[in-house]
Amino acid sequence: MTSLTASSPDLVVRVSGLVKRYKQHLAVKGLDFTVNRGEIYGLIGPDGAGKSSVMKALAGVLQYEGGSAEVFGTVVDSEQAAENVKRRIGFLPQGLGLNLYPELSVEENIDFFAKLRLVPEAELRERKGRLLAITRLDRFRGRLMKQLSGGMKQKLGLICTLIHEPELAILDEPTTGVDPVSRRDFWAILAEWQSAKGMTAIVSTAYMDEAARFHRLSFLSHGRMLASGTPAEVTALVPGLVVTFESTPQLEAVARLKRRYAQVESLGPSVHLFTPERDAHAAVAEIRAVLGDLPVGHLHTDEPELEDVVVALLLKEQDGQAGASEASVRPTRAGDRQQRDGLAVQARELVRDFDSFRAVDRVSFDVQQGEIFGLLGANGAGKTTIIKMLTGIVPPTGGEGRVAGADMRTAGGAIKERIGYMSQAFSLYLDLTVVENIRLFAGIYGLARRQAQQRMEWIVEMAGLSGYVHDRTGRLPMGVRQRLALGCALVHSPRVLFLDEPTSGVDPIGRRRFWELLSRLAREEGVAILITTHYLSEAEHCDRLALMYAGRIVAEGTPADLKTQVEQEVGQLLEIAVDRPGAALTHMMAAGFSGAALFGTKIHVLSRDPSRDEAHLREVLARVGHSVEAVRLRTLSLEDVFVSRVMALERAAQKEKHT
């Protein structure tokens, strides 16, 4: 055990030259960063970036081979060193509820961790009540942990991690696989604890849209630090503009633009493009010149998001090799496309009961061939049950549905022949090569040898697998493995494709390539795609969305329509940059801004009258000595839409219950 007395009193964590190796694999390659007291620090990156290794080393549960991990002035390099700092930290490991006890209730789990951490009984009552209230778990005190949804498990895990009020919380991917409402709850807890208790936190995540919530962050790629600093400092590393517009035909527009720009993607009916040009007029003029005779409409420019910057840095890191394996879908003959027009999925008043519990309650929707349809909902909302009914796995209690022209009640194997399914786990055989996996799936679906060979050639070309055909699947990068799984799901030319959380843990470039594939499959092949995802930023790619709550569809429409509806109902989003944001938030809420919330170093609040509310909040904050640096309108995200809808429904349900 080594003690370092030269550390600044405000320095909580110092990682210096950290190296972690698993046999021949170098997971962390000389990492350096520091975390100051009171910061919420983010480690961002896809699966395999090295985040969990760093978190475990800091928590004292993983040995490392080089460098040092220092916490509160102590280098954590032995069991004894870990014991010396353990009482001052809280560690939430990766995985839903892995630090909890399934046979204990919500309250019993909290009490157990409180006793383990020697929390006095009087303090326990106050802390427990406060944490249960902010997580909205107070109604579920007696429910067994094993009966909770994924989001509820993660919130309970966070309560148990914070119950002894640690000075440092080490939270390893706490929001992965968690529904958007629970994600918002998690960030509310963290912001309040940081503001009220002065807690420091290190949080790892694969969600790029969470990056703006951190005071400072490091983006990791293959065990190395790609970028580090405040969100504004990281964004400034790659200056440029994001231009969003509509052009038809969309795929032709994207193809032309890709010859000139490194970052071009389809977002529903729009094209999203990053340009290094800083002048908006010059940027738009150049885009129009590249598009030539193609029309441009609904155009607007904006500052780049962190994901745009990180993708640019990743492309630079790959030294221009990213385009070598770009996936492209071969154009289909007009006759093929014509056969794929029409209604692909039809659900009418679907009901599914499990004993006395109604999982799906009279759900109806349609999906056209060539359409990307997103099914969004909190954990337990009924999404997976709907997919199981439509694919013939689970019989409905009531209602009816047709998939690719087949009745889901009576079709049996006919439905399975007409659909493709890609699960979150990918369902590949990791010991087989790319070619062997494709041949195996072709055999499962009964393809003749010649047809199987043709489909294999199509999959390799479509998914950009030409450089990997003889590689073992288990050794493939996550993004490549994901594209192979998509190809295997398409080997039998299905008319409908079901995708369950398909991009979990994939880096931003891999996710963008995957969505390019989906867009081309829908537009060129006419494949109908039904997708569930927890990346609400990805839902922007969908042509239409259905939001589910408690087994029912509560909103449906295009992403733009859903945002407009919520804006009309609850107002526009104001972002406030102010000194001492935690204290400022307290004053704002006392002045009537009840929906205000910390968002990293900013405060977000919904407003029906932005001009009036800006003047009021400036007056309130000036009166108590706060300096407001800026107030600006931000576009509502789909997460804002989802959370607003679900929270309103929860309030209505509670009101109805008490009347």
Q: Which of 78-82, 339-343, 351-355, 362-366 has the lowest mean pLDDT?
A: 339-343
Higher pLDDT residue, 574 or 659?
A: 574
Highest mean pLDDT (candidates 85-99, 138-152, 552-566): 552-566
Sign of CA dihedral 456, 461, 462, 467: positive
Taking the CA of residue 242 as centre, how many other CA atoms within 13 Å lie in the half-sphere pointing to its CB? 17
Confidence (pLDDT) at 1: 35
DSSP H or E segment with residue 363:
strand 357-368
Question: What would the mean pLDDT of 632-652 be, rounded to a whole number?
Answer: 84
Residue intervals of the chain classified under CATH 3.30.70.270 are 239-303
Pair of tokens at residue 386: 């709907």
Distance between CA atoms of residues 584 and 576, nearest Å: 10
Mean residue pLDDT of the chain comes to 87
Alpha helices in 380-531 (DSSP H): 383-390, 413-418, 434-444, 449-462, 478-489, 508-520
Higher pLDDT among residues 658 and 59, named by residue? 59
Task: State residue 170's pLDDT score.
Answer: 96
**Residue 505 pLDDT > 70:** no
Alpha-carbon gap, residue 596 to 585, rounded angstroms: 7
CATH superfamily of 334-557: P-loop containing nucleotide triphosphate hydrolases (3.40.50.300)
Backbone CA torsion sign across 68, 72, 73, 77: negative
Q: Is the pLDDT of residue 254 over 70?
A: yes
Question: Exposed/middle/buried for 586, CB within 10 Å: 0-12, 13-18, 19+?
Answer: middle
DSSP 144: B
Whether pLDDT at 325 is above 50: no
Return d(Cα 448, Cα 458) in angstroms, integer. 15
pLDDT score, position 90:
94
> Residues 167-195: what's their mean pLDDT?
84
- Alpha-helical segments (H) within 70-149: 79-86, 106-116, 121-135
Q: Does 3 have pLDDT greater than 70?
A: no
What was the pLDDT predicted at 2? 36
Model confidence pLDDT, tens digit, residues 470-491: 999 988 877 788 889 999 999 9
Instruction: Quote the pLDDT of residue 39.
Output: 93
Q: Write the pLDDT tens digit of every residue in 19-40.
A: 999 888 899 999 999 999 999 9
Residue of 445 and 97 predicted with greater confidence: 445
- Asked if 350 contacts 408 with a C-beta cutoff of 8 angstroms, the reply is no
State yes or no: pLDDT of 173 exceeds 70: yes
Interacting residues of 395 by C-beta distance below 8 A, sequence separation 6+: 389, 409
504 vs 349, which has greater pLDDT? 349
Burial of 407 (0-12, 13-18, 19+ CB in 10 A): middle
Top-confidence residue, 170 or 532: 170
- Rounded to whole angstroms, how far apart are CA atoms 343 and 367? 6
Handedness of CA 399, 401, 407, 408 (dihedral sign): negative
Identify which has the larger pLDDT, 189 or 288: 288
Q: Which residue has the higher pLDDT, 507 or 518?
A: 518
Q: By three-state DSSP, how is residue 331 classified?
A: coil
Which residue ranges does the chain devote to CATH 3.40.50.300?
Answer: 2-233, 334-557
Residue 402 half-sphere exposure toward CB, CA atoms < 13 A:
10
The CATH T-level fold of domain 2-233 is: Rossmann fold (3.40.50)
pLDDT over 70 for what percent of the chain?
93
Q: What is the pLDDT of residue 323?
A: 40
What does DSSP say about strands 406-407 and 552-557: parallel, antiparallel, or unpaired?
A: unpaired
Give the long-range contacts of residues 450-458, CB within 8 A, separation 24 or more.
452/491, 455/491, 455/492, 455/493, 456/491, 458/330
pLDDT at residue 339 greater than cutoff 60: no
Measured distance CA(108)–CA(160) in Å, rounded: 10
Q: Is the pLDDT of residue 6 over 70?
A: no
Q: Which fold has domain 561-657?
A: Alpha-Beta Plaits (3.30.70)
Q: Whole-angstrom Cα distance, residue 519 to residue 537?
A: 16
CATH architecture of 239-303: 2-Layer Sandwich (3.30)
Average pLDDT over residues 206-228: 89
DSSP class of 521: I
Supply the angle between the helices 508-520 and 306-317 in degrees, to the nearest 10.
100
pLDDT at 321 over 50: no
pLDDT tens per residue across span 35-77:
999 999 999 988 778 999 999 999 999 999 999 999 999 999 9
Model confidence at 319, pLDDT cuts 50, 70, 90, reads low
Q: At what angle do helices 121-135 and 106-116 cross, to 10 degrees?
A: 140
